[in-house]
Every structure is written in C-alpha cells, then in structure tokens.
Amino acid sequence: MRKRKPNMFLRRLVSLTILGILIMMIPAMLLNNGTDTIELKENYIESTKPLAISVAKKHGLFPSVTLAQSALESNFGRSELSTTYNNYFGIKAKSGGVEMETKEYENGVEKSVLEPFKKYDSKKASFKDYGRLISTAARYEKVRDAKDYKEAITLIQSCGYATDPNYAKKVIDIIEKYNLMELDNE
C-alpha cells in the first residue's frame, strides 16, 4: 500500500506540471496567431494592391472596393476557393464550376448551401472577370454612377452581389481599417 502512495503523488505532480505548462503556453500561442493574422492580412493588401488598382482603373471602378471585396470574399487570400481555384470574389458559375458550401441569407436567415463557383487560371484572371462583371452587367449599371466607395459597395450589394445583409458594412470596414479609400485618388 505504501508503494502506491508515492507513485500516485508522482503522477499527480507530473499531471499538474504538464497542465501548468499548457496553461502558460496558450496565451503565447493565441497572441502569436493574432499577430500572424494581422501580418497575413496586411501582406495580402500590399501584394494585391497593384492588381486591384489596375483592374479597377481599367473598368472605371473604385480600387478600394475592388481590393476590399477580394479581401472579404477570399478571407485575405486564404479561402479554399481562392487558393485552389483562384476565385477571389466568390463569383458563381452558371455551369461547369466547382461546387462548394457557402453561406447565403434568405429573409435575413443564414443557411449553408452548395453552389457552383467559377474556376480561374490565375488571380489576375479572377480580378479581370470581376472588373468585366461589374462594369458591363446590366444589373450593376447603377454602380457605375457611384460617387464614392460607400455608395459603390452599397449599390453592389443592393444589385444582388451578396445576400449577407451586412455585406456593404463589412467591405466598408475593411476599406476604412486599411485606409484603402486613398487608392481611389491615385
């Protein structure tokens, strides 16, 4: 019986030591992940800025909206749709696309559905298609007369680009957080 007590004491001591080490490591890991996420987002913005400006200017769009929409839709270039299929805007396919689960809102209620999305050969091709879509599709005609980025993204949402009732606000938040509105004046 005496042999078991020291053995049980030793097990508890080892368990508590391991638990203590894990508890001390968790905040450091979380802090590091937050830093990595901030850095990844900033890297996406900086590396994608020239492409967004080029495409937006060519099609008479606001670069801030183009870049912020791509950031939101692709989770700053980290979504499966962007990394595997080069679709940075969540543009759906009429046929022949890749089926993926997405969140849609119907009467303000979020639901998950499978939808076909376009596949692109490159990031540049995705941006070009977005520029063509917004600048030529009849349903986005009002967008082309927008006076600023807030009006442009509000119209893009109201014309049916996204079903999320907070879509325009999310894009505006990205624009303002990263001062992307400065791109509209270049």
Q: Is the distance from CB of 48 to CB of 70 less than 8 angstroms?
A: yes
Q: What is the tally of helices (H) and strands (E) in the chain?
A: 6, 2
Residues 115, 129, 151, 164: which is the catalytic one?
129
Q: Does residue 186 carry a catalytic annotation?
A: no
Phi, psi of 105 (to 5 degrees): -115, 130
Q: Does residue 151 carry a catalytic annotation?
A: no
129 burial (CB, 10 Å; 0-12 / 13-18 / 19+) is middle
Residues 36, 46, 99, 104: which is the catalytic one?
104
Q: Which residues are catalytic?
A: 104, 129
